[in-house]
Amino acid sequence: MSSKKSIYLDLSVQELIEQAVQRGEGVIAANGALSVTTGKRTGRSPQDKFIVKTPDVANEIAWGGINHAVEEEVFEKLWQKTLNYLQTVDTFVSHLQVCADSQCYFPVKIVSEYAWHNLFARQLFIRPQDFHGKGNKQEWLILSAPRLLTEAVRDGTNSDAALMIHLTERKVLLCGHQYAGEIKKAMFSALNYWLPLEGILPMHCAANVGKRGDIALFFGLSGTGKTTLSADPKRYLIGDDEHGWSEKGVFNFEGGCYAKCINLSLEREPIIWKAIRHGAVMENVVINPTTLESNYADARITQNMRVAYPIDFIEKRVPKQRIDRDPEVIIFLTCDLYGVLPPVAYLTQEQAAYYFLSGYTALVGSTEVGQAEAIKATFSTCFGAPFFPRPPEVYASLLKQRLYSSRTQVYLVNTGWMKGSYGEGYRFPIAITRNIIDAILNGHLEKTTYSLLPGFRLAIPQALPGINATLLDPRKNWENALAYNEKSKELITQFLNNAQHLGFSECIQSAGPTFECL
């Protein structure tokens, strides 16, 4: 290789794959995808993420345990250090976009040390030839230098890696991060800051549409079923992770999908399975060294094994990645480890705001660095707290505005445990959850009768087509009624403590769980 450093500009997908293989960044698996590993970080690293605290944003960010502040001087020094470093290595540059909206899109330039990081961005973001925005926009610049490790004391970081977002200068800096999910989530965080100024609700959700034009949104943390349930053979995918809801309608932020593939099978998730082919990027999937076959059941590297692929790898998709109408249905996916929530419940608008702000669910499959447990309960505001820089009330207010101006109905769907809590009961089979989603999308929940679940005050259907009626009421699934009540009290206590921590208004708090009538 020549000592002269090269800049590879806007290479094609095939050229980036060839460069990645030649440089030893990954191998071509038997399914045709590029297979890579990401070192010791196989998920996001929340403690290494910073937002630059400038006068423009200082009073707009919910600073604290999620949004860590870094001074401009610290950022500028590390930015220059990274620029100097990238001049000593070959780099790959791509010009892309995020946000499938002609007014609110961001042009993005990514400069990366790894060819496969550029490939990841090309497959996950929107290519300019696929979408043309209006007007001249200031470009976002992403620098990705995974081999440049930071020095905590000298560089003002927490470890040997850092992700810093400069919202006013529109810059993203990644040092020491091989895990590519940080790239897309950085831009998601940036959009979540800026779009509310345009009256747009940014959402951590998947979206699909039926033949009648009816849109469904699926909110939820990674591992709770968002990507799996939105990949519906009977419907057309808008996107699997990040969307905006404006007065005009719903639009995708991305041009691709980033799916978990732990225990992936053709039978359970045919759409994702078929999308893993040449051009896709697999992260941290165990590969047989002889046959190069993928083993999705082998979690030796991580439970958070991933695959990235462009949305055009999915046959039934919305080409423009936007629909100019309001969603008919919103589904909050919650993975209940206590096993006391119903498989589905109808939410009032007040309850929708409460459960949106609460974001009760579970962290599944080690999506974050330092997550020792494979699964644990959590409250993640807006079903995506790590990616929302502004105070939660900003996003809740936008959600309420959208619900009031539309006829959108909201449902809570439990993809977690039944007949006992985690470790005792068992998780709802995907087939049952799919039947419930079908019942929601086909309008059956608008026609059925409801009963009220004490304590949580949730309206639960008494009957649904193809579902055993006893499954719909969690109290009927526990052998020991006293044990069910005790677990319910535990979870209600968690809800009340979380609400107190967030400082819910009296109006929103009144829609939440209570010990009364339990």
Q: Which of 151, 101, 168 is nearest to 131 (CA)?
A: 101
Please name the amino acid found at residue 227.
Answer: T
The answer to whether residue 475 is domain-embedded is: yes
CA gap 508, 349 in Å, rounded: 10
Tell me the pLDDT band of 221, cut-offs 50, 70 and 90: confident
Domain holding 407, by residue range, is 1-11+44-267+316-518
81, 149 Cβ separation under 8 angstroms: no
Residue 133 has pLDDT above 70, yes or no: no
The catalytic position among 53, 171, 226, 390 is: 226
Q: What value does the mean pLDDT take over residues 280-296?
A: 98
The answer to whether residue 353 is domain-embedded is: yes
CA gap 342, 456 in Å, rounded: 10
Q: Tokens in use for 190?
A: 């940036």
Catalytic: 306? yes
257: alpha, beta or left? (left if phi > 0; alpha if psi -120 to 50): beta
pTM: 0.93
The catalytic position among 49, 177, 184, 204 is: 204
SS3 content of the chain, % helix, strand, coil (to 5): 30, 25, 45
pLDDT at 193: 98
The catalytic position among 155, 232, 241, 326 is: 241
pLDDT at 371: 45
Tell me the pLDDT band of 231, cut-offs 50, 70 and 90: confident
The answer to whether residue 377 is domain-embedded is: yes
Q: Tokens in use for 151?
A: 């020095």
Catalytic: 241? yes
CA gap 289, 302 in Å, rounded: 18
The catalytic position among 44, 122, 317, 322 is: 44
Cα 429 to chain centroid, rounded: 22
Mean pLDDT score across all residues of the chain: 93
Q: Using one digit for the tens of pLDDT, what is the confidence trace for 51-101? A: 999 999 999 999 998 999 999 999 999 999 999 999 999 999 999 999 999
The answer to whether residue 25 is domain-embedded is: no
pLDDT at 71: 97
Which of 22-31, 206-215, 369-378 comes out lowest in average pLDDT? 369-378
pLDDT at 501: 85
Tell me the pLDDT band of 2, cut-offs 50, 70 and 90: very low
The answer to whether residue 310 is domain-embedded is: no
295 SS3 class: strand
CA distances from residue 269 to 198, 211, 233, 239, 274 in whole angstroms, order as listed: 36, 21, 10, 16, 9
223: alpha, beta or left? (left if phi > 0; alpha if psi -120 to 50): left
281, 123 Cβ separation under 8 angstroms: yes
The catalytic position among 112, 189, 227, 367 is: 227
pLDDT at 365: 53
Cα radius of gyration (the chain):
23
Check the CA dihedral 411-412-415-417 and report its sign: negative
Residue 199 has pLDDT above 80, yes or no: yes
pLDDT at 39: 96
Q: Using one digit for the tens of pLDDT, what is the confidence trace for 317-328? A: 999 999 999 999
The catalytic position among 41, 49, 260, 306 is: 306
The answer to whether residue 467 is domain-embedded is: yes
Q: Using one digit for the tens of pLDDT, what is the confidence trace for 43-53? A: 999 999 999 99
Q: What value does the mean pLDDT take over residues 144-171?
A: 97
Residue 1 has pLDDT above 80, yes or no: no
The catalytic position among 189, 222, 358, 421 is: 222
The answer to whether residue 97 is domain-embedded is: yes
Tell me the pLDDT band of 128, cut-offs 50, 70 and 90: confident
| Bigger pLDDT: 409 vs 222 | 409
Q: What value does the mean pLDDT take over residues 477-486?
A: 93
365: alpha, beta or left? (left if phi > 0; alpha if psi -120 to 50): left
**Overall domain count for the chain:** 1
CA gap 434, 411 in Å, rounded: 14
The catalytic position among 170, 185, 235, 243 is: 185
pLDDT at 372: 45
Q: For residue 116, what is the domain's CATH number?
A: 3.90.228.20
Q: Supply angle C-alpha 103, 99, 78, rounded to 5.
A: 110
Long-range contacts of 442-445 (CB under 8 A, 24+ apart): 445/344, 445/346, 445/411
Q: Strand 242-245 relative to strand 281-283: parallel, antiparallel, unpaired? A: unpaired
Catalytic: 227? yes
Residue 227 has pLDDT above 90, yes or no: no
The answer to whether residue 343 is domain-embedded is: yes
Catalytic: 226? yes
Q: Using one digit for the tens of pLDDT, what is the confidence trace for 360-384? A: 988 765 555 544 455 678 899 999 9
Catalytic: 240? no
Q: Which residues pair with 329 in a beta bridge?
A: 216, 409
pLDDT at 237: 96
Catalytic: 476? no
Residue 402 has pLDDT above 90, yes or no: yes
44, 178 Cβ separation under 8 angstroms: no
Cα torsion 221, 476, 496, 403 to 10°: value is 60
